Amino acid sequence: MFNISVIDYIGKIKDGVAILLSLNVDNKIYEVVFWFNTTMNYNLTVDRKLLEDLDLESIYDYPYTYRLINKIFSVLPPPDEIFEKFL
Protein backbone atom coordinates (compact mmCIF):
# COMPACT_ATOMS: atom_id res chain seq x y z
CA MET A 1 0.00 0.00 0.00
CA PHE A 2 1.18 3.52 -0.68
CA ASN A 3 0.17 7.10 0.08
CA ILE A 4 0.99 10.29 -1.76
CA SER A 5 1.18 13.79 -0.31
CA VAL A 6 1.91 17.13 -1.94
CA ILE A 7 5.05 18.71 -0.50
CA ASP A 8 5.27 21.80 -2.71
CA TYR A 9 4.17 23.25 -6.01
CA ILE A 10 7.41 23.96 -7.83
CA GLY A 11 5.52 25.99 -10.42
CA LYS A 12 5.74 26.56 -14.12
CA ILE A 13 8.40 24.71 -16.07
CA LYS A 14 8.22 25.20 -19.83
CA ASP A 15 4.56 24.64 -20.80
CA GLY A 16 3.59 22.70 -17.68
CA VAL A 17 3.59 22.58 -13.91
CA ALA A 18 5.93 20.63 -11.63
CA ILE A 19 4.90 19.37 -8.22
CA LEU A 20 7.07 17.85 -5.49
CA LEU A 21 5.40 14.85 -3.89
CA SER A 22 6.09 12.50 -1.02
CA LEU A 23 5.47 8.83 -1.71
CA ASN A 24 5.11 6.59 1.34
CA VAL A 25 5.51 2.90 0.47
CA ASP A 26 5.48 0.46 3.38
CA ASN A 27 6.66 3.24 5.72
CA LYS A 28 9.54 4.23 3.45
CA ILE A 29 9.40 7.80 2.17
CA TYR A 30 10.51 8.75 -1.34
CA GLU A 31 10.47 12.09 -3.15
CA VAL A 32 8.81 12.29 -6.54
CA VAL A 33 8.64 15.18 -9.00
CA PHE A 34 5.56 15.10 -11.19
CA TRP A 35 5.34 17.39 -14.21
CA PHE A 36 2.35 17.67 -16.53
CA ASN A 37 0.93 20.11 -19.05
CA THR A 38 -2.44 21.11 -20.49
CA THR A 39 -2.33 18.36 -23.14
CA MET A 40 -1.79 15.85 -20.30
CA ASN A 41 1.73 14.94 -21.25
CA TYR A 42 3.52 14.05 -18.05
CA ASN A 43 6.90 13.15 -16.65
CA LEU A 44 7.54 11.33 -13.42
CA THR A 45 10.97 11.59 -11.79
CA VAL A 46 11.42 9.41 -8.72
CA ASP A 47 13.99 9.00 -6.00
CA ARG A 48 16.79 6.64 -7.14
CA LYS A 49 16.27 4.63 -3.92
CA LEU A 50 12.70 3.81 -5.00
CA LEU A 51 13.98 2.41 -8.28
CA GLU A 52 16.54 0.34 -6.41
CA ASP A 53 13.92 -0.95 -3.97
CA LEU A 54 11.64 -1.92 -6.85
CA ASP A 55 14.57 -3.31 -8.85
CA LEU A 56 13.82 -1.05 -11.82
CA GLU A 57 15.89 1.01 -14.23
CA SER A 58 13.03 3.44 -14.89
CA ILE A 59 9.73 4.15 -13.17
CA TYR A 60 8.12 3.59 -16.57
CA ASP A 61 9.16 -0.08 -16.30
CA TYR A 62 6.92 -0.39 -13.23
CA PRO A 63 3.82 -2.37 -14.24
CA TYR A 64 1.54 -0.10 -12.18
CA THR A 65 2.80 3.28 -13.37
CA TYR A 66 -0.62 4.15 -14.79
CA ARG A 67 -2.24 3.46 -11.38
CA LEU A 68 0.43 5.59 -9.72
CA ILE A 69 -0.33 8.49 -12.08
CA ASN A 70 -4.06 8.14 -11.36
CA LYS A 71 -3.35 8.16 -7.63
CA ILE A 72 -1.26 11.32 -8.03
CA PHE A 73 -4.11 13.06 -9.85
CA SER A 74 -6.53 11.95 -7.11
CA VAL A 75 -4.57 13.86 -4.43
CA LEU A 76 -4.09 17.02 -6.52
CA PRO A 77 -6.60 19.81 -7.04
CA PRO A 78 -8.27 19.70 -10.47
CA PRO A 79 -5.69 20.35 -13.21
CA ASP A 80 -7.56 23.44 -14.45
CA GLU A 81 -7.12 25.06 -11.03
CA ILE A 82 -3.41 24.26 -11.03
CA PHE A 83 -2.94 25.64 -14.56
CA GLU A 84 -4.89 28.79 -13.71
CA LYS A 85 -2.60 29.46 -10.78
CA PHE A 86 0.75 28.64 -12.38
CA LEU A 87 0.50 29.02 -16.17
pLDDT in tens for each of the 87 residues of the chain?
Answer: 789 999 999 999 999 999 999 999 999 999 999 999 999 999 999 999 999 999 999 999 999 999 999 999 999 999 999 999 999
| Residue type for position 72 | I
The residues, any chain, with a CB within 8 Å of residue 72's CB and separated by 6 or more, are 4, 21, 32, 34
- The runs of H, that is alpha helices, within the chain are 48-54, 65-75, 79-86
pLDDT at 1: 72
57 near 63, Cβ under 8 Å?
Answer: no
| pTM score | 0.92
28: which strand partners? 25
